[in-house]
């Protein structure tokens, strides 16, 4: 029985620890921002089926998901001139956004 040397096992185990700490901003009362370029220079435009958020900086648009500012529930948007009110099932009706 020949004496076999043990195979070389590389023991360069570099343990990488990425300590990501994501600072979560408050979801409530955040101004609307463009999903593409993060610009706050946005306006709400009525779309075919739903309202969309149109960015005046990059001219991108994204469907708008409206949440009630008071309770966070899904809300419908009511247009009043340049102002948009969020109206939720619980009966809240609050100013959601004003178009520039
Ligand atoms: Zn943009
Ligand atoms: Zn509400």
Is residue 56 within 8 A of residue 42, CB to CB? The reply is yes
Report how far ligand 1's centroid is from the alpha carbon of 17 (Å). Answer: 34
Cα of 43 to ligand 1 centre, how many Å? 11
How far apart are alpha carbons 84 and 99 in whole angstroms? 8
**Ligand 2 centroid to residue 44 C-alpha, Å:** 20
Q: Which bound ligand lies closest to the C-alpha atom of 66?
A: 2
Q: Please name the residues in contact with 37: beta carbons below 8 A apart, sequence gap of 6 or more.
A: 55, 57, 58, 60
pLDDT recorded at residue 20: 41
Q: Is the pLDDT of residue 70 over 60?
A: yes
What ligand has the least distance to the C-alpha of 28?
Answer: 2
- The span from the CA of 48 to the CA of 69, in Å, is 24
Q: What pLDDT sits at residue 18? A: 47
pTM: 0.66
Q: What is the pLDDT of residues 41-53, one digit of tens each?
A: 999 998 778 899 9
């Amino acid at each position: 029985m020949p004496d076999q040397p043990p195979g070389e096992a590389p023991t360069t185990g570099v343990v990488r620890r990425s300590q990501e700490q994501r600072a979560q901003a408050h979801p409530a009362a955040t101004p609307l921002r463009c999903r593409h370029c993060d610009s706050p220079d946005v306006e709400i435009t009525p779309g075919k089926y739903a309202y969309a958020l149109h960015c005046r900086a990059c001219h991108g648009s994204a469907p708008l998901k409206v949440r009630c500012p008071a309770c966070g529930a899904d809300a419908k948007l009511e247009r009043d001139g340049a102002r948009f009110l969020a109206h939720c099932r619980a009966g809240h009706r609050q100013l959601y956004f004003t178009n520039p």
